[in-house]
């Protein structure tokens, strides 16, 4: 199953996410960017492995923890950095920010700030693609908190009835905000919940990107060949807090240390030689990605702020200007 894995792209993308998020954390600590920031540290392998199994033109929905998904969807680091900085050159021209990175041209329907908002949107996109005769599928990324929300269950029920090609990707990172997953789940796993919908579901290690890929690829293939919805729950760990600035007082330090023994970046480096990348090649990729991240943020920081009145744009496709401006 790994024979067709885009190995170099996967390593490059994994490092892009890690180095990018490291930079975001630094910026957060010095208050150098406005707004809420939720980093993807610890779950990088999930975005990389799933996106490696998807095509560029497949749709995804993301959450407020959106940087990793956007990067793995090949959205440019620079335009994500610019959006986080609130600049006109950002993916959303500064109107979305870190929580709402979106790039339609890259198949990223959007990143949503409401827990469990994504699955029905991905379902709708999947339905429309199938009914129009396309083989594009949709994947929805969400955390382990979302399966408590009614909207998740409505989407799951409809997805099965419609046999829509939507891949439900649960990133079980150990915490729903500040609540531990082993406490909040009534079942052992999120996958266990899906039998109520007759949706095939499995729970898989989410720390090793090749394991993620090996789980996602057959599911994607089945959907592309006409299959219905499936759920994969990937087990990872949230190295960062719920948001940058979170005191993480609820996360035992020894638990974090234990999880970091299986840091996705560590595991990937360990497997590099086996996957055909020697130390030199790996070092070269890492150095290039460091430079890419530096360049992206350096450029984004110099970009112009929006004009205040840019706030009035794009509320509608068509609407009387005076009733937007109002006063």
Nearer to other proteins among residue 110 and residue 241 (C-beta): 110
User: Which stretches of the chain bind other proteins, using CB under 8 A?
Assistant: 59, 61, 90-96, 100, 102, 104, 109-110, 112-114, 117, 119-129, 131-132, 138, 150-151, 154-155, 157-158, 161, 313-320, 322-324
Dmax (CA) of the chain: 65
Residue 242's nearest CA partner among 36, 97, 21 is 36
SS3 state at 148: helix
Q: Which is nearer to other proteins, 138 or 265 (CB)?
A: 138
Pick between residue 11 and residue 152 the one whose CB is nearest to other proteins.
152
Name the minimum Å distance from CB 327 to other proteins.
9
Q: In terms of C-beta distances under 8 Å and separation of at least 24 residues, what long-range contacts does 250-256 make, across chains too?
A: 250/175, 250/178, 250/180, 251/175, 255/174
Shortest Cβ 149–other proteins spacing (Å):
9
* Residue with smaller CB distance to other proteins, 49 or 94: 94
Pairing state between β 175-176 and 179-180 = antiparallel
Q: How many CB atoms lie within 10 A of CB 261?
A: 9
Residue 154 has which token pair?
């409505």
Task: Give the whole-angstrom CA distance, residue 117 versus residue 188.
Answer: 24
Task: Please identify, using beta-carbon distances, which residue of 61 and 189 lies nearer to other proteins.
Answer: 61
Smaller CB separation from other proteins, 93 or 248: 93
**DSSP code per residue over 85-128:** TT-TTSTTTTSS-GGG--BGGGTEEEEESSTT-HHHHHHHHHHH
Which residue's structure tokens are 């975005």?
Answer: 47
CB of 164 to other proteins, least distance (A): 8
Q: Please give the Cα distance from 44 to 181 (Å, whole number).
A: 19
Coil/strand/helix, residue 56: coil
Query: Distance between CA atoms of 267 and 295, rounded to whole angstroms?
Result: 27
Q: Which CB atom, from 178 or from 324, has the smaller least distance to other proteins?
A: 324
Expressed in angstroms, the distance from the first to the final Cα of the chain is 61
Q: Nearest distance from residue 70's CB to other proteins, in Å?
A: 12
- Report the alpha-carbon distance of residue 14 to residue 46 in Å, rounded: 10
User: Is the Cβ of residue 126 or residue 169 nearer to other proteins in the bound state?
Assistant: 126
Least Å from the CB of residue 111 to other proteins? 9
Least Å distance, CB 221 to other proteins, is: 21
CB of 40 to other proteins, least distance (A): 19
Q: What's the residue count for the chain? A: 327
Residue 66 beta carbon to other proteins: minimum distance, rounded to whole angstroms: 11
**Nearest CA to 53 among 230, 211, 220?**
220
Residue closer to other proteins, measured from CB, 88 or 248: 88
**Nearest distance from C-beta of residue 159 to other proteins, angstroms:** 9
The neighbouring-strand residues paired with 180 are: 175
């Amino acid at each position: 199953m790994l024979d067709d894995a885009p190995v170099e792209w996967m390593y490059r993308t994994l490092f892009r996410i890690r180095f990018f998020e490291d930079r975001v954390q630094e910026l957060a600590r010095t208050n150098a960017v406005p707004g809420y920031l939720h980093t993807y540290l610890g779950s990088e392998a999930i975005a990389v492995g799933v996106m490696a199994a998807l095509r560029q033109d497949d749709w995804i929905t993301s959450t407020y923890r959106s940087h990793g998904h956007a990067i793995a969807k090949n959205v440019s680091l620079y335009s994500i950095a610019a959006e986080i900085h609130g600049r006109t050159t950002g993916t959303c021209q500064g109107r979305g920010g870190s929580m709402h990175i979106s790039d339609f041209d890259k198949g990223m329907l959007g990143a949503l700030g409401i827990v469990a908002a994504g699955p029905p949107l991905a379902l709708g996109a999947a339905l429309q693609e199938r009914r129009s005769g396309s083989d594009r599928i949709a994947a929805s990324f969400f955390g382990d908190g979302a399966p408590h929300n009614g909207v998740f269950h409505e989407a799951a029920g409809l997805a099965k009835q419609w046999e829509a090609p939507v891949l439900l990707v649960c990133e079980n990172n150990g915490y729903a905000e500040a609540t531990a997953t082993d406490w909040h789940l009534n079942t052992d796993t999120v996958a266990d919940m899906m039998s109520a919908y007759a949706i095939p579901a499995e729970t898989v290690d989410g720390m090793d990107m090749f394991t993620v890929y090996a789980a996602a690829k057959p599911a994607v293939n089945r959907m592309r060949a006409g299959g219905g919805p499936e759920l994969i729950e990937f087990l990872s760990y949230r190295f960062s807090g719920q948001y940058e600035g979170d005191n993480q007082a609820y996360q035992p330090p020894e638990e974090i240390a234990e999880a970091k023994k299986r840091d996705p970046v560590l595991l990937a480096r360990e497997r590099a030689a086996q996957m055909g990348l020697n130390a030199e090649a790996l070092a070269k990729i890492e150095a290039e990605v460091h430079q890419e991240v530096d360049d992206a943020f350096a450029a984004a920081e110099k970009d112009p702020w929006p004009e205040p009145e840019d706030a009035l744009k794009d509320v509608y496709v068509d609407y009387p200007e005076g009733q937007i401006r109002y006063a």
